[in-house]
Homo-oligomer: A and B are copies of this chain.
């Protein structure tokens, strides 16, 4: 999909409204009415046609029985006919050579099985003719900068620099109505509907290049093309912020997982990892979605600490607390700034600067001026209560004037008294907040965006691996089952991928076990090798700290217990392994997410993972930077760094393991889940060992 093709959605020179009608209140009527004022890029050269066999003319627009009868070239067809008629209309569009179609009609996938069949017809016809199709089951599209409203909504949003893509038409309607009352402007809006052909990826690609769009804001309920989303969003966020609200966090899928990683790594984690890795700012509520978007539409970077100027102490302290908690950082003033503030007679010439309740707008403005000139200040939160001496419009002048020097977030607190000033701010794209905590939260989104953009574009890391050896290994296993659990017998896979495991061997007889143990050195651990026994410890099939004199006895004991375990039909032997003393336990895992592919997990020890859910996620393939970030972003990282004078753990060796597991997961799509749990990591320079291993493999189709 190239940008030029989508350009015709927003700047068509000729539009056909299929299903137009003169019946008031009907979708086909509102739609035509909304489109009629459109004048196009070159103002006045747009041709609009109605299509409906029942009319010759609708609202003074010439009406055709079908698009085929239109003599002119048509750039865009907007379709609002009953669902059953849509396939025929699409066929006609295809035949006519219309490339861009918005299908507003509902009654497809969302309406049940028959609708889904109908929708797949639309996909087939679109493929056949190479149609760019938006919808079906959508509200339409809007381009405020060209005056195009191709929706059946009652109102048109005002011009602005935020592009809004919504998977829900109803939600888009709510946003349009709200935005109008709140005087929030948009550049373009697309109601994505069922996303039968075009989806958010296509429009993110287009909007990244759109000069009128400063921020791309999305409301999504699912993402079909996970990998493409990451690539497209990563590219777009290099140029402009992308803010996403994703609804639908709880998903049955996560509960059905059988590995440890699988049970923790749900789709919420996959989505969050994908957003993080592509520089997308995630919002968790509608308030946040627009707070973040509005602030990012004018502030993309804060270089320095945050200063607070206030005429009332309390709200200033609230803002300061929120800044400290969020890690944004309060600005520290230089001596010159402090002296200037002292000369101004403020209560506090440190940050937050309290000009006090008796200050007038000029004093407030002077403080703002001094602070905005300080080099250490990256942005200013300007808090103003409606005290008697304050004239808000005058104070607003200072904000508007100084905002070019340093971005200022106004927190003018009040109702009617501030209304006029707030409107003036809005016209300059500046959002006022009543609540200082919300202002800080919006600034955090700026920090998040600029940090992700500043990161070196991460390239995945690759090792040379004997893929062939592994293919053979996987091929050896019984593939009659659809899914299969692999336990310690998969150590070979780790070895091949260069992941260190303690010396081990598989014994089929007690004599072999002793021979192996002698070679490995004592004490050893002994574990059953059986694809039928997943929880080996629970059935007594794992023995630790086995001494030489106990080896043979233990061998028989393990076999005996395994045989007692009813479903244990396939016993392949007993694994004899070196006992690993000391080290700290970490877990590395992988779960293949249905949307995004392999989701890699990192965490410390069983308790930290199970009780605190203190884990980090990234989607493979990982770059070295990703792996380092994953390790550093768990809270328990402090334990690896060494608490109370302990030595630092060998982080490098864990980075290496993460990269190799990432590559394994990319190389073998048949691996659905994997747990390296525990991995024991030793002090710096002494590496790590994967002690236990489990994976779930699916038969190749």
Contacts and interface: CB of A to CB of B under 8 A. Distances in A.
Interface of A: 25, 27, 30, 106, 152, 154-155, 167-171, 173-175, 177-182, 219, 221, 245, 247-250, 284-287, 311-315, 317-318, 320-322, 324-325, 357-358, 385-388, 413-419, 434-438, 606-607, 610-612, 614, 635-636, 638-639, 643-644
A385 B171 contact: yes
B248 A321 contact: yes
A180 B416 contact: yes
Given A177-B418, A437-B286, A611-B635, A169 B321 contact: no
A340 B386 CA distance: 53
Contact of A178 (B249, B414, B438): B414
A413 to B, nearest CB: 3
A436 B322 CA distance: 23
Nearest to A312: B170
A47 to B, nearest CB: 28
9 contacts: A168-B314, A170-B386, A174-B413, A178-B414, A221-B313, A248-B321, A250-B321, A607-B643, A611-B643
B357 A419 contact: no
Nearest to A644: B606
Contact of A638 (B437, B438, B611, B635): B611
Given A386-B177, A388-B27, A388-B152, A311 B170 contact: yes
A112 B174 CA distance: 52
Nearest to A435: B286
A607 B636 CA distance: 9
Contacts of A106: 357-358
B607 A635 contact: no
Contacts of A318: 245, 247, 285-286
Given A314-B221, A314-B247, A434 B178 contact: yes
A317 B434 contact: no
Nearest to A284: B437
Contacts of A154: 386, 388, 417
A438 B285 contact: yes
Given A286-B437, A611-B638, 16 more contacts: A25-B388, A106-B358, A155-B416, A167-B314, A168-B314, A170-B386, A171-B315, A174-B413, A181-B415, A245-B318, A249-B324, A285-B438, A287-B437, A606-B644, A607-B639, A610-B643
Contacts of A419: 181
A435 B315 contact: no
A160 B542 CA distance: 69
A435 B677 CA distance: 41
A69 B256 CA distance: 85
A353 to B, nearest CB: 15
Nearest to A413: B174
A246 to B, nearest CB: 10
Contacts of A415: 177-182
A175 B314 CA distance: 13
A152 B358 CA distance: 13
Contact of A181 (B320, B416, B438): B416
A182 B415 CA distance: 7
Contacts of A152: 388
A285 B413 CA distance: 13
Contacts of A325: 249
A174 B385 contact: yes
A434 B178 CA distance: 9
Nearest to A183: B415
Contacts of A181: 414-416, 419
A320 B167 CA distance: 18
B413 A287 contact: no
Nearest to A636: B611
Contacts of A436: 285-286
B312 A168 contact: yes
